[in-house]
Structure 1
Amino acid sequence: MAAYDCDVLVIGAGIVGLSTAHALTRAVPGLRVKVLEKESGPARHQTGRNSGVIHSGIYYPPGSLKAHYALQGSAEMVAFCAEHGIPHEVTGKLIVATDRAELPRLHALIQRGREHGLPVRELGPAQITDHEPEVRGLAAIHVGTTGICDFGAVARTFARLAQEAGAEIAYGAEVTRIGRRAGRVAVATADGTVHRARALVNCAGLHSDRIARLAGDDPGMRIVPFRGEYHLLAPERAGLVRGLVYPVPDPAFPFLGVHLTRGIDGAVHLGPNAVPALAREGYDWRTVRPAELAATLAYRGSWRIARRHWRYGAGELHRSLSRRAFTTAVRRLLPAVTEADLRPAPAGVRAQAVLPDGTLVDDFLFAESPGIVHVLNAPSPAATASLPIGREIAGRVREVLG
């Protein structure tokens, strides 16, 4: 029996895992790469359930990995989409202050945008309506480099390019056990197949901490799933929004608040709000996995989040359970909208890494152990920055291989 079935195993066929496979095959021609994905196709979770925004990087502190990756990755993503015929558009976006208390935070974002070298313009109320006739606010920023695309199509393109370069992708391959010896990692899947490799990359997203523990590593965090719930504007009312409109974010939370997004298909998404999910893949209130929920409730970090942010969480729950409350949140930016204008839309689940002290990890988090690279937290702008992130992970893998 051969010592290895491949050189590198990648767990997870979301956009980060597939970008990593693509980067590895480009960096080391002939390297044998295999991707294991439990679903029947790529991009079935976070990658395929987001608003499709190519983020500029304006929100992220200078020196953070998020800022580094977004500033580099947004331009690369636009170029990649153009090269491969993937639907995209550089639309720009508005960040709108609707309350005087938000103005200092808006001005801080303007300064940050300029530090990043982004094309930002300050707008008054009349200029806001020049861009978005139905949007109201006291002041706003226009960020010219924000765009939209189809990240599912990007992930599928990464998969195709990796396969053309010799990589294998195994769908329906749920990882159940991981064993390690010096210089070798063995991964068993639910069908009993064992895959042996020189190195392993954990890009399992919502299950990244579980995969780390299967490998015998302590990730030092736990994934606590938060569901992001969206509504669509009724098609006959989609003209209320021309492009992308965001509120001024609260820096105390790693969520951007309810925003308005005209996607590449022309549909306008409203949201998301953020509520605890009752399963790691809990895309509605009816989906409950008792073992996963019990593990979340037993984690002391979850209770510390609840104690620290209960007021914020109560508001999010209210908007989840009340269409009227959700509409009220939207009306802060878009006064013309009514409850009757809202239509159901698919939800997403964010894989939020939480430390034992209740800290919500707000940047990329990597960990390494012999033969393994773990991607433990890959928050937005992971899709935007998937090209440089894939190269970063591939570089770490090459060091592991020696």
Structure 2
Amino acid sequence: MSTYSFGVIGAGIIGAAVAREITHRFPGAEVTVLDKADAVAAHQTGHNSGVVHAGLYYQPGSLKARLCRRGVDLLHDYAGEKNLPFDKCGKIVVALTPEEEVRLRDIKEKALANGVPDIELLGPEGIRSVEPNAVGRMALHSPHTAIIDYAAVTRALIDDVQRAGGRVILGAEVVSIANREQGCAVTVARGGEQSIHTFDHLIACAGLQSDRVARLAGGAAYPKIVPFFGQYSQLAPEHRNILNGLVYPVPDPAYPFLGVHLTKRVDGEMLVGPNAFLSFGRENYNGWRIGLKDSIDVAASPGFWKFAGQNMHAAVQEFGAVLSRQKFLAGAAAYVPSLEGAVSTPITRGIRAQAMDRHGRLLDDFVIEDIGSATLVRNAPSPGATSSLAIAEHLVETIGDHPRFTKYGSRGEGGRG
């Protein structure tokens, strides 16, 4: 049995998955999850569309591509084990122009290289056979793309951690980290008081605060998190069954986000969104609570201004959709014409923790930094939730390879085999 102690910062789906994986790889280890929120899955995990991505878009061989495909299988099996809804509703990525058709064929080649099963290109008639209310010149059909409730998955993972003897401390904000080769001392502020927790190893999965937590642990200044909000609207009840699955646009290489699409949720609701625009606050979910510290942080970053200058045209287009819900819905009606004039209601926005380098480039792949006795997840955007169990597997296996932990962290003694 292991006598090691591990700290995990973040009770979102990745932090919860990491904590659970530690209990499997290091039986008997002390595991403590710290989160400044008062509930698990309070941030990105609890504010997303619930899509289980199949791995269509990602650069073959990248960490993101590999962990997404592994993550899909692990998530499917875990949902079955816990009796959580997992709906393989399928998805089509629709091209409306000849230029998009070219990009769609490139996506298909990436998807094949990534091992995405059963994908095929469809013409207009094929589109109608899958989604009778959708239109387009060509579409890539991914029949195994699924939907799930990630907050419910996170609660189940946390329950597993606690059943294995782990602790979950909520309302606990990490204010300092003394990171040394033989362990980390983490100072936590909670209820007006401070306490110190010591761990043999610390794993930070802090999402929107990942760069700040990394800096506390001695990590590099970059990548820096720049928050982008995504606003979804929920269609009126008469549109709940307008689609069988998901309808996505072909990504525009001139802008780093997917654009407005239609997403079914496991509760049966149909969502349109998201737009993507700079968020004035890392946790500004209602749009009104401006984060002064966060906004100054972005404004002080030369990399952000380089990014803004390169993406001004796309930003103007996105801002139009932010101001006008009619324009926002018109984007969806281009793919599903019967949505013209549809009624919808905005729901709580999501905020994407997007890592940016000092040159203003948005980082596409997952980024993990190891320093001292800390492992820092610096960038885990979509498909981070899809990949969460695989990210946990990857991180904990890497930690287990360290000489201090080899006895208990390998796939031999103490591992799952």
TM-score (normalised: structure 1):
0.96
> Percent of aligned pairs with the same residue?
39
In structure 2, the partner of 1:65 is 63
In 1: Cα distance, 2:87 partner to 2:221 partner: 38
Q: Do the aligned partners of 1:185 and 1:199 also contact (CA within 8 Å) in 2?
A: yes
In 2: Cα distance, 1:277 partner to 1:6 partner: 40
Number of residue-to-residue matches in the alignment: 398
Where 2:58 maps in the other structure, the secondary structure is coil
In structure 2, the partner of 1:150 is 149
Residue 125 of structure 1 deviates from its aligned partner by 0.8
Query: Are residue 184 (structure 1) and residue 221 (structure 2) matched?
Result: no
Spell out the pairing of 1:379-398 with structure 2 (5 A cutoff): 379-398=381-400
Spell out the pairing of 1:239-258 with structure 2 (5 A cutoff): 239-258=241-260
Query: Are residue 112 (structure 1) and residue 110 (structure 2) matched?
Result: yes
Where 2:200 maps in the other structure, the secondary structure is strand
1:300-331 per-position Cα deviation (integer Å, ceiling 9, x unaligned): 11101100111111111110111121122111
- AA in 2 matched with 1:67: A
Identify which of 86, 92, 110 aligns with 2:84.
Answer: 86
Q: Do the aligned partners of 1:373 and 1:396 also contact (CA within 8 Å) in 2?
A: no
Q: Do the aligned partners of 1:11 and 1:204 also contact (CA within 8 Å) in 2?
A: yes
In 1: Cα distance, 2:394 partner to 2:221 partner: 19
In 2: Cα distance, 1:121 partner to 1:298 partner: 46
1:253-281 per-position Cα deviation (integer Å, ceiling 9, x unaligned): 43221111111000001111101000011
In structure 2, the partner of 1:10 is 8
Select between 349-358 and 329-338 the one with higher mean Cα deviation.
329-338
- AA in 1 matched with 2:167: E
Select between 196-205 and 245-254 the one with higher mean Cα deviation.
245-254
Q: Do the aligned partners of 2:235 and 2:342 also contact (CA within 8 Å) in 1?
A: no
Where 2:284 maps in the other structure, the secondary structure is coil
In 2: Cα distance, 1:179 partner to 1:311 partner: 44
In structure 1, the partner of 2:304 is 302
What root-mean-square deviation, in Å, do the aligned CA atoms of Structure 1 and Structure 2 show?
A: 1.5
In structure 1, the partner of 2:196 is 194
Spell out the pairing of 1:25-40 with structure 2 (5 A cutoff): 25-40=23-38
- AA in 2 matched with 1:395: E
Identify which of 312, 316, 319 aligns with 1:317.
Answer: 319
Residue 219 of structure 1 deviates from its aligned partner by 4.0
Identify which of 30, 45, 48 aligns with 2:46.
Answer: 48
In 2: Cα distance, 1:369 partner to 1:181 partner: 9
In structure 2, the partner of 1:121 is 120
In structure 2, the partner of 1:368 is 370
In structure 2, the partner of 1:98 is 96
1:97-136 per-position Cα deviation (integer Å, ceiling 9, x unaligned): 1122201011112222222332112211112112212111
1:350-372 per-position Cα deviation (integer Å, ceiling 9, x unaligned): 00000010000011000011101
Residue 181 of structure 1 deviates from its aligned partner by 4.0
1:16-61 per-position Cα deviation (integer Å, ceiling 9, x unaligned): 0010001111011011110001111111111111111111001111
Spell out the pairing of 1:231-380 with structure 2 (5 A cutoff): 231-380=233-382
Query: Are residue 135 (structure 1) and residue 156 (structure 2) matched?
Result: no
Where 1:264 maps in the other structure, the secondary structure is coil
Where 1:273 maps in the other structure, the secondary structure is coil
Where 2:339 maps in the other structure, the secondary structure is coil
In 2: Cα distance, 1:187 partner to 1:34 partner: 11
Unaligned runs of 5+ in 2: 406-417
- AA in 2 matched with 1:377: N
In structure 2, the partner of 1:20 is 18
Where 1:190 maps in the other structure, the secondary structure is strand
In 1: Cα distance, 2:15 partner to 2:254 partner: 29
- AA in 2 matched with 1:173: A
Q: Do the aligned partners of 1:121 and 1:142 also contact (CA within 8 Å) in 2?
A: yes
In structure 2, the partner of 1:227 is 229
Select between 18-27 and 174-183 the one with higher mean Cα deviation.
174-183
In 1: Cα distance, 2:27 partner to 2:338 partner: 55
In 1: Cα distance, 2:108 partner to 2:218 partner: 45
Where 2:33 maps in the other structure, the secondary structure is strand
Where 1:346 maps in the other structure, the secondary structure is coil
Where 1:187 maps in the other structure, the secondary structure is strand
Unaligned runs of 5+ in 1: none
Q: Do the aligned partners of 2:6 and 2:30 also contact (CA within 8 Å) in 1?
A: yes
In 2: Cα distance, 1:259 partner to 1:131 partner: 16
Distance change >3 Å, CA 111–CA 280, structure 1 → 2: same
Distance change >3 Å, CA 41–CA 285, structure 1 → 2: closer
In structure 1, the partner of 2:408 is none
TM-score (normalised: structure 2):
0.92
Residue 251 of structure 1 deviates from its aligned partner by 3.2
Residue 398 of structure 1 deviates from its aligned partner by 2.8
1:126-165 per-position Cα deviation (integer Å, ceiling 9, x unaligned): 1211221211101111112211111111111111111111
Where 2:337 maps in the other structure, the secondary structure is coil
Q: Do the aligned partners of 1:323 and 1:339 also contact (CA within 8 Å) in 2?
A: no
* Deviating 4+ runs (over 6 angstroms): none
